[in-house]
Amino acid sequence: MSKNKKYPIEKSEKKWKAELSPEEFKILREKGTEYPFTGQYNDHYEDGTYLCKGCGTPLYESESKFDSHCGWPSYDKSIEGALDMIPDHSAGRLRMEIVCANCGGHQGHVFNDGPTKTRLRYCVNSASINFIKKLN
C-alpha cells in the first residue's frame, strides 16, 4: 500500500493483523510475495471474478487470466479503476507495483511482457485474492 495515499478503506495494522492470516498480512500489508507455483489460484481457471482478499473489491475477471508459466496467477487486464500502480525500485530495477485502489493492499506487479494483445502481465499473489464463481 502506498504510505502517501488515503484509501477508502483504512484500518490500523493491528486490525489488519486480526483479520488476515500471517501470510495474507505479509503480502497485502508488508508487500511480501509467496513462493512460485504454491498459490491456490496459479492453476485455477473457473469462470468468475477474483477479489481483493483485504476488502472484497473485484479486481480481475476470469476471462483475463492466462497461464504465464511464471508460478503466480497472471491476468492481461484488471477491472477498470480497481488497481493503483506505484513505481517500485525495491528489486534494483523499476517495476510497477499493483495495489487495490480501495484498501491499498499489495497484489503484486504488472509487467509489459504478456503474450496477449494487451502485452500486459499482472502477476498476482494468490494469498492476496479470493475467487467468486460465476453463477449460471
CA distance 45 to 56: 19
Torsion angles phi and psi, residue 23, rounded to 5: -65, -45
What is the enclosing helix (H) or strand (E) of 23?
Answer: helix 22-28
Q: Is 123 a catalytic residue?
A: yes
Sequence-ordered strand ranges (E) for the chain? 48-52, 58-61, 65-66, 74-75, 83-88, 95-100, 106-111, 121-124, 129-133
Among the listed residues 55, 100, 103, 123, the single catalytic one is 123
- Using DSSP's 3-state secondary structure scheme, residue 128 falls into helix
What letter does residue 129 receive in the DSSP assignment?
A: E
Query: Which residues carry out catalysis?
Result: 123
